[in-house]
Structure 1
């Protein structure tokens, strides 16, 4: 087995144990492999080990990888910050976007989604920790944004995403993820949106995220090792 295959198996055990501890079915929790800064060969290894969903933060890197891997039936998720001038290729080349935090971006993705493709699955990114440096809409802006996004054609609002402030405090991890779940529960109750997706949890806190209802955990380091960022 490759190192990546071994790591995938280890993460799978963590997911199953966390689901069991929370009385959840592990089949309801998707493993999104975060492959940013990793070569196409690593994605190919992960696919051979059973993964099909891959998350990318950097558009050009993702498009290059997609070209190299177009022989594989992969599902691509865009999970990074979105600039207005990047929405067209995102709308054309991804199945999911987890990081929509303002209406303008949703409108552009809707308008630029090719008509021959299925609706683009969208998650609204929420800044649950209130960090000035983090992307994401504020909780109080969420109902109006969600309601507006659901009116747009060619995209489908699936749920919410968050990247809370990193902490080793397990209680704080739970609290941040519970805030996102409560926000989604509120949207479903008040606006009857039928949202079914909570994209939350990474390598260091996936157990807390699963306990609080995550349906996608976004895992990079635990699968592929530490990221290699280019020196500047």
Structure 2
């Protein structure tokens, strides 16, 4: 998803760094949970139908959504205080044409002011036509040298602020290990788990989460995900 996503337990570092500009995966995965009308459960893929989705950034600027079998798509919008993903508008418009569930994510840097970063994200996303069901996501995978408590407080502030401004409970994305370390107290936000090397949907939630919403299970040849929720249930997590 944004700067480098590195999963040391599932991909060699040199291989991951070739995809610089995507999200920095510092852990083995991320989990997802929702405190709002979600029936997501951490179950093996064979036990329940799963909804397939993809996520991209400017490094897949020409991704053909029309040819994709995805039922949801999540795209990078912003990073830090001023970065705007060059492909965001195109992806956003193409997802609208396709008519599937769509979401926008912000790659956070805890060394900055969380409110300032949230305002940057919202200014970019709100500049585009919105529709009911649009998902909002915080992608947090780096500490920027901050402590566990400070990173945790940063995430809480960003998520609380975006929720207060939009009425949407944002989704939280991170690697499993990162979320397990820095995600305590965030179980009220749907969790998107990136964990490779496991069957689709066969992942347990980290930290305080009891359920997951999306499992990102591979980045080959593109970031691929499954959700235990139906498209309609995913939309229920987005804009009213």
Q: TM-score, normalised by structure 2?
A: 0.49
Are 2:95 and 1:97 equivalent residues in the alignment?
A: no
Gaps of 5+ in 2: 1-30, 79-83, 204-217, 221-240
Equivalent-residue separation in structure 1 for 2:37 and 2:61 (angstroms)? 37
- Distance between the aligned counterparts of 2:47 and 2:63, measured in 1? 31
Preserved contact between residue 200 and residue 218 of structure 1 (Cα < 8 Å):
yes
Change (3 A) 1:121 1:92: farther
Report what 2:159 is aligned to.
184
Looking at both structures, which has the greater relative contact order when contacts are Cα pairs under 8 Å and sequence separation is at least 6?
2
Paired with 2:67 and 2:42, the residues of 1 have a C-alpha distance of 19
Q: Which runs of 5+ in 1 are unaligned?
A: 1-14, 34-45, 53-73, 131-137
Pick one of 164, 178, 198 that aligns with 2:142: 164
Distance in 2 separating the partners of 1:121 and 1:106: 11
- Higher gyration radius (CA): 1
Shift in Å at residue 154 of structure 1? 6.0
Query: 1:145 is matched with which residue: 121, 125, 141?
Result: 121
Spell out, residue by residue over 1:3-62, the C-alpha distance to the aligned partner (whole angstroms, 9 max, x if none).
xxxxxxxxxxxx8xxx9xxxx9698595799xxxxxxxxxxxx5214472xxxxxxxxxx
1:120, 1:206 → 2: CA distance? 23
Q: Secondary structure at the match of 1:89?
A: coil
Shift, 1:114, TM fit: 4.8
What is the deviation of 1:126?
A: 1.8
Where 1:153 maps in the other structure, the secondary structure is coil
- Asked if 2 retains the 8 angstrom alpha-carbon contact of 1:125 and 1:162, the reply is yes
Give distance in 2, aligned partners of 1:98 and 1:30. 22
Deviation at 1:179, TM superposition (A): 0.9
- Quote the Cα distance in structure 2 between the aligned partners of 1:123 and 1:179: 16
C-alpha contact 1:91 1:114 (8 A) present in aligned 2:
no
Runs of 4 or more off by more than 6 Å in structure 1?
none
Partner Cα distance (2:35, 2:128) in 1: 32
